[in-house]
Structure 1
Amino acid sequence: METLRDSTTSSGPNWVFYLSDILNSTSSKNDIKIYNFASGGASVTKEISPVYSDEVNTFTKQVRELFKPKMVDVKDQFPWNSKNSLFGIWFGINDTGNRKITDDLSNEDYEAMTFLMYFRLLDELYQSGARNFLIINIPDLQYAPFVVSNGDDSSFWMEKIASFNTLLPKYIKNFQKTHRDANIFLYDAFDEFRYIRDNYSQFGIEEVDNIC
């Protein structure tokens, strides 16, 4: 598989590389490997939350068309197992943003459909051998450059993000009840991003208002 480190909108490494770099720096084995199927602009499924291009790898495509054929059906080529692998999953931003495109759905119906597919795909990962999951919620986006520059109503984002982030741990809890040997870690990106933005100078950050 091709290694791409600096293909983000900020021209820096994807967040998973920061994680692996730190882990590898503290291990003499330097054996943390990353298989990243993420795609910018992706939603859980384009049937619910449209994406800007058919080339975007939605969560559905990542699991069914990329992960399973490449990592499960030919598992001998990539020797991972249930104990030594962590599956990082970060969805919700594009699902929330593209809500405007699907005005025929109530927010409750929209969220129910999104989470139904979200956790169906988690179950498919589980059935393929995944047992350790890192799930990330939606960060605080009201000051994000694309929200501000587009003149989007921040109240729209805050309302939908709050709803998504409130429901996510409830669905995780229900999933855990039926998948008792799974380890699920929920990372609170909302509070973390807000704290970093409010205290950006402590982290050597100079720009928080414009796109990098």
Structure 2
Amino acid sequence: MSRFISTVGNYWPGYDVVKKLIIFGDSYSSVGYDPDWPAPTSDEPLGVPFPGFTWTEGGEDMGDSTNPNWVGHLVTTRRKNNKPLLVYDYAVGGHTLSGLRKQVELWFLPTVGKKPDWAPWGADDTLFVMWIGINDCAYGSEHASNIRRLFGLQEALYESGARNFLLIDVPPIHHSPAFSYALRSDPGVGNPYDKWNDELHKGAEAFHTKHPEITLLMYSSWEIFNKVNRDPEAFGFSEEDIKKRGGAIWHDHLHPTSKMHAVIADDLDAFLKKYEGNGTSNS
């Protein structure tokens, strides 16, 4: 099927000018931030001691590692370039679309969504990021209704003033250690993930058609994971790491290592920099 082509609008200042990220998602994006805690500051850009509590290697339990995920790596890169970010990260490990609704409707919209003095943000300096779906795909392969709900939440963000959106598709989880060799050999094993991404692109097209003035960027985690799988040595990994739990790519059966998150962050940083302000692109 056709893919939605990332499009920038007049509210997009260029990635280097973006000052705030507002993130919704699951364990891949979680830093352990509680929305009842104080807002992020220049000294604590995640709202928690850097790099937060992640689902990478090194923790005693799930979600308590102090190694950065892609969010922390991205913040570090921007800080090194003297272009710091503040991040409001509502992502929670294990969340599906039902949890995403809570993140948007209960945690963000009634508080930061109202642009209070203690957490100001603007349509032209803030990027809203949504990376969700891995856990939903574990429960089935018919995703049209979930994607409608996802874009219903995007609509609520739009109504609150959001104009710059970044969507991230799901990676090829069927190539992770979570799937046995027998399951990986099933030609239909990747269908739930393929179908999620197909529906996400359809929804993105419809959302942009409804709101042509917005910036809507579609980053593919599917593509970066496949690039690593095809040529792991190019990214500093080995062939045996591709499907090895506890290796350099996968911390466990499902969650990437901090090193793999760094690969994602570097690729995402390059992707975002392609899109200049005022509706122009370097691609």
Q: TM-score normalized by structure 1?
A: 0.80
Give % identity.
27
CA distance in 2 between partners of 1:60 and 1:122 (Å): 10
Are the aligned partners of 1:141 and 1:157 in contact in 2 as well (CA < 8 Å)?
no
CA distance in 1 between partners of 2:72 and 2:157 (Å): 22
CA distance in 2 between partners of 1:177 and 1:198 (Å): 35
Using the TM superposition, give the Cα deviation of residue 174 of structure 1 relative to its aligned residue in structure 2, in angstroms: 0.5
Equivalent residue of 1:75, what SS? coil
> Which consecutive unaligned segments of at least 5 residues does structure 2 have?
1-37, 39-46, 57-64, 252-283
Aligned counterpart in structure 2 of residue 3 of structure 1, from 48, 56, 79: 48
Q: Does residue 153 of structure 2 align to residue 121 of structure 1?
A: yes
Equivalent residue of 1:69, what SS? coil
Aligned to 1:26: 81
Are the aligned partners of 1:135 and 1:187 in contact in 2 as well (CA < 8 Å)?
yes
Equivalent residue of 2:139, what SS? helix
1:38-64 per-position Cα deviation (integer Å, ceiling 9, x unaligned)? 01111111xxxxxxxxxxxx1101001
CA distance in 1 between partners of 2:111 and 2:189 (Å): 36
Are the aligned partners of 2:126 and 2:164 in contact in 1 as well (CA < 8 Å)?
yes
Aligned to 1:63: 104
Aligned to 2:91: 38
Equivalent residue of 2:179, what SS? helix
Equivalent residue of 1:170, what SS? helix
Deviates more, 1:114-123 or 1:66-75: 66-75
Q: Which amino acid aligns with 1:40?
A: G
Equivalent residue of 2:217, what SS? strand
Q: Residues 41 and 156 of structure 1: is their aligned pair in 2 closer, same or farther, counting only changes over 3 Å?
A: farther
Q: Does residue 118 of structure 2 align to residue 77 of structure 1?
A: yes
Equivalent residue of 2:110, what SS? helix
Q: Does residue 179 of structure 2 align to residue 147 of structure 1?
A: yes
Are the aligned partners of 1:142 and 1:148 in contact in 2 as well (CA < 8 Å)?
no
Aligned to 2:71: 16
Q: TM-score normalized by structure 2?
A: 0.61
Aligned to 1:158: 190
Aligned to 1:210: 245
Are the aligned partners of 2:78 and 2:84 in contact in 1 as well (CA < 8 Å)?
no
Alpha-carbon RMSD across the aligned residues, in angstroms, is 2.0
CA distance in 2 between partners of 1:162 and 1:175 (Å): 20
CA distance in 1 between partners of 2:122 and 2:86 (Å): 13
Aligned counterpart in structure 1 of residue 219 of structure 2, from 148, 167, 187: 187
Larger RCO (alpha carbons 8 Å, 6+ apart): 2
Equivalent residue of 1:76, what SS? coil
Q: Residues 194 and 165 of structure 1: is their aligned pair in 2 closer, same or farther, counting only changes over 3 Å?
A: same
The number of equivalent residue pairs is 188
CA distance in 2 between partners of 1:158 and 1:174 (Å): 25
Using the TM superposition, give the Cα deviation of residue 145 of structure 1 relative to its aligned residue in structure 2, in angstroms: 1.7
Equivalent residue of 1:186, what SS? strand
Aligned to 2:137: 96
Are the aligned partners of 2:123 and 2:161 in contact in 1 as well (CA < 8 Å)?
yes
CA distance in 2 between partners of 1:176 and 1:23 (Å): 28
Q: Residues 138 and 157 of structure 1: is their aligned pair in 2 closer, same or farther, counting only changes over 3 Å?
A: farther
Are the aligned partners of 1:23 and 1:32 in contact in 2 as well (CA < 8 Å)?
yes
> Which consecutive unaligned segments of at least 5 residues does structure 1 have?
46-57, 100-106
